[in-house]
Amino acid sequence: MAESIPLQRSESLSSKTCTICGRVLNCGAIAGLAAANAFLFLQLQAVTYKVAEEQSQLDELKDNLKTQQNQTIIVQEKVEEEHSLTLIHMGGTFVLITCLITMFHMTAHLQ
């Protein structure tokens, strides 16, 4: 019996050592996971900020695109108006030249 008591003490000492090592390892693992979690959270925040920044740039570009499309439509309407006015001017010029030629021709007959 005397021999079994020191064995129990040594087993309890090794069991306490294992328990302490296990707790230290668990604390280390928890600290490592917490650090990894913090790192991932910071990365997520950086990505979220970047996405928000890119989204604002996209919105700005969409507004610019809409403005340019509206300006393009206005310019196209003006070009169509000018085209029709040009045709009217060419027609009027043709009519005036025809009238002048007719008048010269008639004056040639009157003489």
The pTM of this model reads 0.49
Place of tokens 């403005």: 67
DSSP 26-92: HHHHHHHHHHHHHHHHHHHHHHHHHHHHHHHHHHHHHHHHHHHHHHHHHHHHHHHHHHHHHHHHHHH
The dihedrals phi and psi of 95, each to the nearest 5 degrees, come to -65, -45
pLDDT over threshold 90, residue 39: yes
**pLDDT tens track for 40-85:** 999 999 999 999 999 999 999 999 999 999 999 999 999 888 888 8
pLDDT value of position 69: 95
Buried b (16+ CB within 10 A) or exposed e, 47-84: eeeeeeeeeeeeeeeeeeeeeeeeeeeeeeeeeeeeee
How many angstroms separate the CA atoms of 39 and 36, rounded? 5
